[in-house]
Structure 1
Amino acid sequence: MAPFNSYESFSLPLLAVYWPGVVGLALLFSAILSEVVALFVPQRMGWRFELVRVLAMSLVFTPVLFGWTQLLAPMPQMLPSVWQIGVFVALTSVTIHALRRIVGAEAGAFAADETGTVAADVEPAPQMPPEAPIPRLMHRLPKGAAGPILRLSAHDHFVEVHLPDESHTLRMRFVDAIAEMDGVSGDCAHRSHWVTFAAVTGIKRDKGRIFLTISNGDEVPVSRTYRPRIEAAGLLDP
């Protein structure tokens, strides 16, 4: 496609050097910035991590790409400004994140058939203790995901599945994710949060608000609408 007028400005030998260099530098800086962002936003599958990484990539990689372009271009004055290249970097980063979410969600959906059985060429989810039922939702998670599922949270059209040491994001309706937790005792504590009762280790009260403490250290808010359900489960005093 040769953006930045590179088809007109670069000879074929220069194009053969320029674009592989762009791709290599992008991969390098993306990997480095991912690790740096993870120090401040540990939840890699969340939208906050992706937003910060897009901003970091736009701020850090834009001058690198601009310098690489200026270095190889025979006529730098014909090339876009640093601001135009910055917009290109930001849009490319957003597109890549969107594609990763779409492809990742579809891959998880194809891992299980309509009856909830795992396809023959996909490694089944790890076995949980015999006393803990394995919900159908586990089959949507990537290979190697170690349960049990502690809680679910909804963000727009995505559901975040929280495990003891990790979490995974699925593109599906919240109500469908809850339905696939069949066999596991749990309920909603909030319109955007569902908890497994066995994972609740205590409660916390802060300025009139109530939170359920989960075994992995998370805190889930209890709304007034769903408080009677939590009380009925014996997790709160009426």
Structure 2
Amino acid sequence: MRPNLLHALPKAVVAGVKKAFHPKTLLIWLACSIVAAYSGPFGTYDSDSVTELLLTWAVLLGVCIVAAYVVNEVCVVILPKATASLRNIVFVFLCAPTIGALLQFMLVNVFGKSNLDKPGFGLLTLYATLSLGFIFLVRFVFFPSLDAKTDVIAQTESALQPASLPPHSRLAKRLNIPQAARIIHITAKGHFVQVKTCSETYQTRMRFLDAVDELDGTLGLTVHRSHWVHRDAIRGWVPNAKKPYVLLENESEIPVSKTKLDKVEQFGIPKLTDVA
């Protein structure tokens, strides 16, 4: 396995878990758990305790949701230049048996089910495959532009040459930031500015405009009177949200002020839809 891939996979797992616990995803998780508890699929309605049913389905569905997000992020890492359609196929191929195996383990080792009162691994994997297929069918019918936008973003990002810092910007020297570290985000905090790299956060007392000036031409843009972002740290932006924002690679959502909308548009940043 390539060293850079070994480095990227743990980050993909963390990103997948974060997405699984996004507030919107948690609401869907809760709603599905309630529906499953009261509808009782696979004969589970025979249980006497609604609380027990709700807890059981919350755990099982939670495992499935987390696994799906993690596998999806891993697919993005191992297939960075693939089309959305190919990536979806690989995702289902990897995700269905993963979910089947996890459900098998949970049912036997956590909930104490025997092979007589639960579906087998093959049937669980089939259920997972059919469920994922249904989700992609709904996505294709009702949101056909999502995959197309994903392809455009991937093509745009692959065409861009990674921007690098100057030999060492004045701001980096001021904060003793290593030369190899990239400043990805600057935020105004009253009389202070907060400077973030990929792994560290620094703070110093100075004006926001002076901090941006001391970047010495680093490729980026001021998207708000209190926010500057590095171009290579931006995944895309959401202009049609109630409050427009740019989405960074670390999942941070940075607000875009109305006066900066045209500037962001002209910078050629891919547009995203406001989804969890």
Give the TM-score of the pair, scaled to structure 2: 0.37
Q: Select the structure that is richer in helix.
A: 2
